[in-house]
């Protein structure tokens, strides 16, 4: 049989009226049957004129992300990857597949980094009373005096870009290894942040290759119809994690280690954390745009924490300016509280952090926040989020999730990222929820 619509065999058809396609597997199907199998109507405008020489009249706009799957021959199940007529459909499925692999990889990389961050913070808190040791062993008093004398006890200013701030602190503490572990972790987080940037994702790399090829051919028109499958969640999570890392280093240094290896306090110690607050503002703005309430709250919290850290140690702000900044911090926390109340499922445990930050501003103090049990549970859930045995779906805003057990939805819930309704009832997905066709085939049953 070569025509699944009419049930015709090869001997029954007229090739002039019903051309056939022979894929690499050798099976024969009519173009009409293969077009139906490949779901051409999802990607092309099809003419209703039965007498049209070619029913395909135009391209449709890009299909929704993760709705494409690599089709197989209906006879032998061999992938149909080498038929030029269906190149657009096959390439879109490849892009979806590569993006799915990226999501799984990014999630698997982030969870251990978040766990390491919690352990490093705990070690910093527990080692508060330890006496720093000089790294270079000097047996003679004169040599020891010279080593300690080389450390600057003059005014110390921690300012500028965040990388520069951290380097200043590392240099001031170069005689002991207190920040060795968190320094290695920060390097790993920075590398991960680079790797999950939109420019490094499959669709961006493909677009860059296409644009380069078009330029070589003298094509000047811009690409406008690009499938929107770029993933931003892990970049936002990594941005929060590196802010958390920087705050932990600054807070520890100011609180306990604003001194040299000899234990002598660094007087005239000042901070200018304007860049830190600007980075928090960028995080808040993008998280709001991307409908990521948890990361929006994190940005507001760390804005306030950096403000509290600079309070009383500012190298630039007058008392009046600092008071205005404190008032703004109170407003930031009020916004964070409103977001937590509006998105309780996505911001589990964060209301406690808002309350602690309000107390910090009220009492003019600061501290390193402790990861609460609810947030730890969220990270633990993330570790299993893409390792389920069920089916993969996307909420109305494109965020992926899995349904366990039989893989069919039996109850509704809220998307942990944006709060949209997910799941469904009686094996029927909720409105707006779509099946990520071959996602679970590639990853969900590992």
What confidence category does residue 401 fall into, taking pLDDT thresholds of 50, 70 and 90?
low
What pLDDT does 402 receive? 62
The pLDDT score that the predictor gives to residue 17 is 77
Comparing 96 with 128, which gets the higher pLDDT?
A: 96
**pLDDT confidence of residue 368:** 61
pLDDT at 233 over 60: yes
What count of other Cβ atoms lies within 10 Å of the Cβ of residue 94?
15
Q: How confident is the model at residue 142 (pLDDT cuts 50, 70, 90)?
A: very low
| Cα→Cα distances 204→90, 99, 214, 374, Å | 18, 10, 15, 35
* Cα–Cα distance for residue pair 179/132, rounded to 1 Å: 11
Characterize the bridge pairing of strands 269-271 and 156-158: parallel
Asked if residue 195 has pLDDT above 70, the reply is: yes
Q: With a cut of 80, say whether residue 280 has pLDDT above it.
A: yes
For the stretch 91-117, pLDDT in tens is 777 777 787 788 888 888 998 999 999
Does pLDDT of 33 surpass 50?
A: yes
Q: What percent of the chain has pLDDT over 70?
A: 69
Residue 416, class by beta-carbon neighbours within 10 Å (0-12 exposed, 13-18 middle, 19+ buried)?
buried
Confidence of residue 385 (pLDDT cuts 50, 70, 90): low
Evaluate if residue 3 carries a pLDDT over 80: no
The pair of structure tokens assigned to 204 is 């961006």
Residue 439 has pLDDT above 50, yes or no: no
CA pair distance 66, 44, nearest whole angstrom: 17
Res 316 pLDDT > 50: yes
Q: Show the tokens assigned to 52.
A: 């049209």
Give the per-residue pLDDT at 159.
92
- Per-residue model confidence (pLDDT) at position 161: 95
- Tell me what pLDDT residue 104 has: 83
Higher-scoring residue by pLDDT: 101, 246: 246
Report how far residue 387's alpha carbon sits from residue 369's, in angstroms, rounded to the nearest whole number.
30
The CA distance from 264 to 49, in Å, is 88
Mean pLDDT of the chain: 77
Predicted confidence at residue 299, as pLDDT, reads 97
Q: Which residues of 144-179 are buried (b: 16+ CB within 10 A; e: fewer)?
A: eeebbeebeeeebebeeebeebbebbeebbebbebb
> Which of 154, 377, 373 is closest to 270 using CA atoms?
154
Q: How far apart (Å, rounded) are the C-alpha atoms in residues 52 and 58? A: 13
Cα distances from 217 to residues 213, 214, 220, 221, in angstroms, run 6, 5, 9, 11
* 9 SS3 class: coil
Query: Directed axis angle between helix 180-195 and helix 162-172, to 10°?
Result: 160
pLDDT given at position 79: 80
Q: Count CB atoms within 10 A of the CB of residue 23.
A: 20
Yes or no: say if 227 and 62 are a contact pair by the CB < 8 Å rule.
yes
pLDDT exceeds cutoff 60 at 121: yes
Burial class for 114, CB neighbours closer than 10 Å (0-12, 13-18, 19+): buried
Lowest mean pLDDT segment, chosen from 93-97, 182-186, 194-198, 366-370: 366-370
pLDDT recorded at residue 443: 43
| Better-predicted residue by pLDDT, 200 or 301 | 301
Most confident of 5-9, 49-53, 110-114, 265-269: 110-114
Confidence label for 154 from pLDDT (cuts 50, 70 and 90):
low
Q: Reply yes or no on whether the pLDDT at 86 is more than 50.
A: yes
The rounded percent of the chain whose pLDDT value lies above 90 is: 27
Report whether pLDDT(47) > 90: no
If 0-12 CB within 10 Å is exposed, 13-18 middle and 19+ buried, where does residue 56 land?
Answer: middle
pLDDT, mean of residues 193-222 = 81
Given pLDDT bands bounded at 50, 70 and 90, which one contains residue 120? very high
pLDDT of residue 77: 82
Higher pLDDT, 323 or 401: 323
Which of 195-209, 252-266, 297-311, 384-398 is the most confident on average? 297-311
Alpha carbon distance 416, 401 (integer Å): 9
Would you call 439 helix, strand, or coil by DSSP? helix
Residue 141: the pLDDT is 43
Q: Is the pLDDT of residue 138 over 50?
A: no
Are residues 237 and 295 in contact, defined by beta-carbon separation less than 8 angstroms?
yes
pLDDT at 21 over 80: yes
The Cβ of residue 101 has, within 10 Å, a number of other Cβ atoms equal to 13
């Amino acid at each position: 049989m070569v025509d699944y619509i009419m049930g015709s065999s090869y001997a029954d058809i007229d090739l002039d009226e019903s051309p056939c396609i022979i894929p690499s597997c050798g099976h024969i199907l009519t173009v009409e049957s293969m077009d139906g199998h490949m779901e051409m109507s999802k990607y092309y405008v099809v003419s209703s004129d039965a007498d049209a020489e070619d029913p395909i009249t135009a391209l449709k706009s890009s299909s929704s992300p993760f709705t494409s799957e690599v089709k197989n021959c209906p006879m032998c199940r061999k992938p149909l990857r080498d038929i030029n007529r269906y190149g657009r459909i096959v390439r879109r499925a490849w892009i979806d597949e590569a993006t799915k692999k990226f999501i799984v990889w990014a999630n698997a990389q982030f969870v251990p980094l978040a766990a390491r961050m919690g352990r490093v913070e705990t070690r910093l808190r527990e080692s508060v009373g330890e006496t720093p040791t000089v790294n270079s062993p000097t047996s003679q008093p004169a040599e020891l005096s010279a080593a300690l004398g080389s450390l600057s006890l003059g005014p110390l200013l921690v300012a500028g870009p965040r990388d520069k701030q951290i380097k200043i602190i590392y240099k001031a503490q170069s005689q002991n290894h207190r920040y060795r572990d968190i320094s290695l972790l920060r390097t790993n987080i920075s590398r991960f942040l680079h790797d999950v940037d939109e420019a490094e994702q499959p669709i961006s790399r493909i677009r860059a290759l296409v644009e380069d090829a078009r330029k070589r051919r003298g094509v000047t028109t811009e690409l406008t119809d690009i499938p929107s499958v770029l993933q931003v969640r892990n970049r936002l999570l990594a941005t929060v994690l590196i802010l958390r890392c920087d705050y932990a280093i600054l807070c520890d240094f100011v609180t306990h280690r604003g001194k040299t290896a000899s234990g002598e306090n660094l007087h005239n110690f000042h901070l200018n954390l304007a860049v830190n607050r600007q980075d928090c503002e960028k995080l808040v703005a993008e998280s709001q745009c991307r409908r990521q309430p948890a990361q929006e709250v994190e940005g507001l919290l760390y804005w306030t924490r950096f403000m509290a850290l600079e309070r009383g140690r500012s190298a630039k702000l007058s008392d009046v300016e600092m008071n205005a900044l404190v008032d703004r911090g109170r407003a930031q926390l009020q916004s964070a509280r409103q977001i937590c109340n509006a998105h309780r499922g996505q911001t589990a445990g964060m209301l406690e952090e808002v309350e602690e930050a309000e107390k910090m501003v009220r009492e003019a103090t600061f501290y390193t926040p402790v990861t609460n049990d609810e947030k730890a549970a969220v990270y633990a859930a993330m570790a299993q989020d893409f390792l389920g045995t069920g089916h993969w779906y996307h909420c109305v805003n494109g965020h992926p999730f899995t349904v366990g057990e039989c893989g069919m939805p039996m109850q509704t819930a809220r998307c942990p990222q944006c709060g949209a309704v997910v799941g469904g009832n009686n094996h029927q997905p909720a409105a707006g929820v779509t099946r990520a066709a071959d996602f679970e085939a590639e990853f969900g049953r590992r």
